[in-house]
Amino acid sequence: MNYNWNWQIFWAQAPDGTGVYFWWLISGLGWTLATALLAWMIALALGATIGTLRTTPLAWVVRLGNAYVELFRNIPLLVQMFLWYFVLPELLPKALGDAMKQMIPPWASFWPAVLCLGFYTSARVAEQVRAGIQSLPRGQHMAGTALGLTLPQAYRHVLLPQAFRIILPPLTSEFMNIIKNSAVALTIGLMELTARARSMQEFSFQVFEAFTAATVIYICITLIVVFVMRWVEKRVQVPGLISAGGAAMAGH
């Protein structure tokens, strides 16, 4: 029993005439990064807002924020992907739904994937932001208001700058999660990196070369993100203040 290794396969012409297989993977990488980065912006903006609101003294806002987080955390990502792609256009007003269904191929799966990953990750970011703010000593908030800051000012100048420094490490792993989770978008037809590796395997029959290449690319992304974030952490560090923290969370 022998597997025929053929590492030259990456330079063989791909059947769709767009170039060699290597470019399939690179274009897949491009879609992975584009999806992840756009979704991350949504996740960060929404997650920071909702996480902050969950620490305010307004009980009904806190409850609403908690419901949001529970909703997005307790439905599998794949199911959420199907809801955005298959179900949402049917439930929207007809004109809008039809417009969604008639989008040209890469965009028809790209936008639902971005929204899905963005909202899914925003719930996880919100949880980290809440934990970060609540890990600060209560005196910080009190000292802020004692100095005459309003509640928004206390958040803006005292609480959030400290909380975000504390949760940088868990946010880094959430960012890595969003890159890995973007692979789920292949189920709605987005040709990102994992999807490209799979179709390369289907056309060339070189299973292990294709998956090895994708694996190596994912590892490289991880290493780059880790190094960049380590640098960022050093850059924003306030000497003499707090190191790591955040919510102890199981996850991917």
- Write the interaction track for other proteins spanning residues 162-181; mark x where CB under 8 A is met and - where it is not: --------------x---xx
Q: Does 75 bind other proteins (CB under 8 A)?
A: yes
Looking at beta carbons, which pairs linking 206-209 to residues 24 or more positions away fall under 8 Å? 206/6, 206/9, 208/3, 208/5, 209/5, 209/6, 209/7, 209/9, 209/10
Name the minimum Å distance from CB 184 to other proteins.
6
Report the distance separating Cα 238 and Cα 70, nearest Å.
33
Q: Which of 215, 224, 227, 237 binds other proteins (CB under 8 A)?
A: 215
Taking residue 120's Cβ as centre, other Cβ atoms within 10 Å add up to 24
Question: Which range, of 17-25, 144-152, 155-163, 216-224, touches other proteins by CB under 8 A?
Answer: 216-224
Instruction: For residue 37, count CB atoms less than 10 angstroms from its CB and return exposed for 0-12, middle for 13-18, buried for 19 or more.
Output: middle
Name the minimum Å distance from CB 199 to other proteins.
11
The number of angstroms, rounded, from the C-alpha of 89 to the middle of its chain's C-alpha atoms is 23
Nearer to other proteins, 87 or 236 (CB): 87
Nearer to other proteins, 41 or 219 (CB): 219
Q: Which of 64, 79, 236, 242 binds other proteins (CB under 8 A)?
A: 79
Q: Does 90 bind other proteins (CB under 8 A)?
A: yes
Name the minimum Å distance from CB 168 to other proteins.
18
Q: Does 134 bind other proteins (CB under 8 A)?
A: no
Nearer to other proteins, 31 or 155 (CB): 31
Name the minimum Å distance from CB 41 to other proteins.
20
Report the distance separating Cα 110 and Cα 112, nearest Å.
6
Q: Does 59 bind other proteins (CB under 8 A)?
A: no
CA dihedral 11, 13, 17, 23 (to 10 degrees): -20
The number of angstroms, rounded, from the C-alpha of 30 to the middle of its chain's C-alpha atoms is 15
Q: Does 94 bind other proteins (CB under 8 A)?
A: no
Q: Does 3 bind other proteins (CB under 8 A)?
A: yes
Q: Does 218 bind other proteins (CB under 8 A)?
A: yes
- Write the interaction track for other proteins spanning residues 178-207; mark x where CB under 8 A is met and - where it is not: --xxxxx-xx------x--xx--x-----x
Judged by the rule CB under 8 A, the positions of this chain that interact with other proteins are 1, 3, 70-71, 73-80, 82-83, 86-87, 90-91, 176, 180-184, 186-187, 194, 197-198, 201, 207-208, 211, 214-215, 218-219, 221-222, 248-252
